[in-house]
Structures are given as structure tokens and as C-alpha cells.
């Protein structure tokens, strides 16, 4: 098989040298060039076009976001953002994902060489995953819907414990390509949509910036989940990066448990952790939706939801950036309906009514 051709764009000579030497050890990956900024990168790309570009966002002469937008508007190509794990880096990286970046690989501000050497396997695997993305879907998602004015949430009534509840919950899992897909879906929901619990594979610090951006675009409230938050209509809770989120029930209401834990299916937060808890505590009171993403995280949990009577949905291949997670869920028999991305908001609102 042909090797994956990689172009490394980073203003740090150390990062370029370390990444090049690490990837050269991979039999199926070839670093065709490195560049200290997008201007040099454009000259290299004029000679040989890469299969994957690794891109820093803060660089001289032209910033990474501007360069990324040029690529996605002229010749969409899988781009892996290599960003520092900082609050500032998180905000900038959200702009990159909005502009069409396929994924993010975070790096520390100190000890970069040792970190990258230790993470060689994960970095190479990420390159392989990004090389498979459907860049047409990254570049062509419709703009968010217009945002109606938000209304203050109603106060939560006091309830007594009961054996059954009429409360409903929508559980969603997604990964690569999910930031844009979730933006599309959530921005089209109405204020009376049932409460959502969402796992989007994303590093620590990044989920807060992601939730804040979505909240500015949506009629419903969107925020990063905190331990003990109640799941209620008009609210979407996004699992924090680096912590698992599961569903529990207290009396008639559903709440979330947010806590650190070992990676499940190589991810923390994990979709399977959320879906399996929804199967256990919500059953027929829930629907599960698995969307674009690499790997098989969520496939087992969605099957358990299906077996407990929840209605289950998977995003179709044509609208996915990567069909991995939905495909695995379908193969395991846990999916009731396969739907296009533009149908998912309607599925959620129909369930809510």
C-alpha cells in the first residue's frame, strides 16, 4: 500500500525535527517535507501534495487558521492541528475545528521532546485516522441556524423519590468531525427539546471552549457538565475532556456523574461509559445517537441501550466525516435507524414531543 504522505508545518525547529524522526520509524508513513510557516508550506505543496498536514496555529507571516481556510476552500485536505494544551490554545483550536480541521493533537508547552517521544504511537495512529476522513463533509457542512433569544430556565421543582419517571434523555456520542456535526444539530434544536448528554472526544480544557461556542449559537443552553448537574429540557451537557460522564437517577430526575477514570476504548471521556449508564438507568426513557467518528467507542453501549428498549440511531455514511463509530454500532446490531445528519435535529425534536 502507498505510504501516507505527511507535511509538518510548525515554527518550532525542535518540533519539526522530533516529529519527522518519529514518523520516519513508521513503515506506512512518509514525511515529504517540513515548513516553519504556511508560506514555506505552500511552496512545498506546489511540488508534492500531502495526504495529511500537521499544523501549528500560531506561526509567523501567516497564522494557521488563515492557512487552513485557504486549504479547505481550494483543495480540502485532512489537517491535524498540533496545539498547546492551554486555555488560549483551546480557544484558537476551536476556530481551527470550525474552519475544517479534522482533529487535534495536544502538546505541552514544556518538555515537548520527551512528550512527543513517549506519545509516538498515539501520534502515528492519529495520522492514520486523519488520513481516512471525508474532507468533503468537513468542508461543506451548512452554516448554523439563526439563534433565537434564550429564555431563563424554569426553577426545578422538588420531587419525592418514585419507582418510575416520565423524564426523557437524549444520549449522543461522536468523535472526529463531531464538532461541526454537533454545531449543525444543536443549533437547529428548539427550546423545548429534551435534555441532552453528549460525549465528544476532545482533550481537557477544550470542551469548555467548545461548549461556550455552541451556547452562543444555540437556542438551547449548552455547557460543560459538572458533577451532579440535572438533565433537563432545553439543556445540553457536554462531558469534560479527561473525565467520564455517566447518567444516574435521583427520584424522578436524571443527573450526571462526572469523574476521572482510566481510558475506555482509548478515550476519556468515553461514549461507551455514557451509553451503558443510559441503558442501565434510563432504558426506554432514552434515545441513543452515535455520530461521525473513528474507532468503535459507543458501539457496545448503544447495543445495550437497544437491548433495554431505547430507540437508537446512527449517522449515515454519506454525511459522516468518518463512518467508523456508526459503522461498528450498525455491525453489532444496536442501531434501529440510520439517518443523515440533516435529519438528526428532527429526530430529537420528534422524540421530545
Tens digit of pLDDT for each residue in 318-350? 999 999 999 999 999 999 999 999 999 999 999
Does residue 297 have an active-site annotation? yes
Q: Which helix (H) or strand (E) holds 311?
A: strand 311-315
CB atoms within 10 A of CB 164: 7
Nearest to 240 by CA among 226, 253, 252, 254: 226
Catalytic residue among 56, 83, 84, 201: 201
Give the CA-trace dihedral at 180, 185, 190, 195, to 10 degrees: -100
Which strands form 29-35's sheet, in the order they lie side by side? 29-35, 4-9, 52-55, 79-84, 103-107
Pairing of strands 253-259, 244-250: antiparallel
Nearest to 181 by CA among 137, 125, 127, 131: 137
State residue 84's pLDDT score. 74
Nearest to 217 by CA among 239, 192, 188: 188
- The residues near 40 (Cβ < 8 Å, ≥ 6 apart) are none
d(CA 258, CA 272): 14
Contact between 98 and 91 (Cβ < 8 Å): no
d(CA 8, CA 27): 17
CB atoms within 10 A of CB 311: 15
Does residue 37 have an active-site annotation? no
d(CA 116, CA 19): 7
CB atoms within 10 A of CB 88: 13
d(CA 106, CA 82): 6
State residue 251's pLDDT score. 86
Catalytic residue among 10, 51, 56, 175: 175
Q: Is 281 helix (H, G, I), strand (E, B) or coil?
A: helix
Residues of the chain short of pLDDT 70, as ranges, are: 85-89, 139-164
Nearest to 236 by CA among 280, 196, 186: 196
Give CA separation, 247 vs 15, 126, 250, 300, in Å: 41, 29, 10, 16
Contact between 170 and 194 (Cβ < 8 Å): yes
Contact between 261 and 244 (Cβ < 8 Å): yes
Domains of the chain: 4-139 (3.40.50.2300), 169-352 (3.40.50.180)
Does residue 175 have an active-site annotation? yes
Could you read off the pLDDT of 233-281 as tens digits, one per residue? 999 999 999 999 999 998 889 999 999 999 999 899 999 999 999 999 9
Nearest to 35 by CA among 66, 51, 65, 13: 13
CB atoms within 10 A of CB 98: 18
Catalytic residue among 56, 297, 306, 319: 297
Query: 175-202 b/e with 16+ CB inside 10 Å = b?
Result: bbbbbbbbbbbbbbbebebbbbbbbbbb
Burial class, 120, CB count within 10 angstroms (exposed 0-12 / middle 13-18 / buried 19+)? middle
Amino acid at each position: 500500500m502507498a505510504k501516507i504522505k505527511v507535511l509538518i508545518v510548525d515554527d518550532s525547529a525542535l518540533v519539526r525535527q522530533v516529529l519527522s524522526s518519529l514518523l520516519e520509524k513508521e513503515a506506512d508513513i512518509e514525511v515529504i517535507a517540513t515548513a516553519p510557516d504556511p508560506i514555506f508550506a505552500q511552496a512545498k505543496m506546489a511540488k508534492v501534495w500531502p495526504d495529511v498536514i500537521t499544523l501549528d496555529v500560531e506561526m509567523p507571516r501567516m497564522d494557521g487558521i488563515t492557512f487552513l481556510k485557504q486549504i479547505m476552500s481550494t483543495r480540502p485536505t485532512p489537517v491535524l492541528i498540533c496545539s498547546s494544551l492551554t486555555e488560549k490554545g483551546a480557544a484558537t483550536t476551536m476556530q481551527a475545528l470550525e474552519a475544517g480541521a479534522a482533529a487535534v493533537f495536544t502538546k505541552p508547552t514544556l518538555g515537548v521532546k520527551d512528550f512527543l517521544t513517549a506519545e509516538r504511537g498515539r501520534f502515528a495512529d492519529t495520522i492514520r485516522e486523519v488520513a481516512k476522513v471525508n474532507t468533503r463533509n468537513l468542508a461543506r457542512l451548512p452554516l448554523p441556524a439563526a439563534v433565537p433569544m434564550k429564555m431563563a430556565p424554569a426553577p426545578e421543582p422538588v420531587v419525592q423519590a418514585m419507582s418510575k419517571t416520565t423524564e426523557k434523555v437524549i444520549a449522543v456520542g461522536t468523535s472526529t468531525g463531531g464538532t461541526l456535526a454537533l454545531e449543525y444539530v444543536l443549533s437547529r434544536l428548539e427550546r423545548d427539546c429534551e435534555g441532552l448528554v453528549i460525549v465528544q472526544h476532545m482533550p481537557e480544557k477544550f470542551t469548555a471552549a467548545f461548549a461556550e461556542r455552541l451556547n452562543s449559537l444555540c437556542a438551547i443552553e449548552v455547557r460543560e457538565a459538572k458533577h451532579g448537574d440535572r438533565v433537563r429540557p432545553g439543556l445540553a451537557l457536554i462531558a469534560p475532556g479527561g473525565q467520564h460522564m455517566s447518567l444516574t437517577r435521583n427520584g424522578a430526575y436524571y443527573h450526571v456523574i462526572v469523574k476521572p477514570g482510566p481510558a475506555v476504548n482509548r478515550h476519556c471521556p468515553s461514549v461507551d461509559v455514557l451509553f451503558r449508564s443510559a441503558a442501565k438507568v434510563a432504558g426506554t426513557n432514552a434515545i441513543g445517537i452515535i455520530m461521525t467518528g473513528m474507532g468503535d467507542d459507543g458501539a457496545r453501549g448503544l447495543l445495550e441501550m437497544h437491548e433495554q428498549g431505547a430507540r437508537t440511531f446512527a449517522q449515515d455514511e454519506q454525511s459522516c466525516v468518518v463512518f467508523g463509530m456508526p459503522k461498528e454500532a450498525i455491525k453489532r446490531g444496536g442501531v434501529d435507524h440510520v439517518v443523515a445528519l440533516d435529519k438528526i435535529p428532527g429526530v430529537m425534536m420528534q422524540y421530545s414531543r
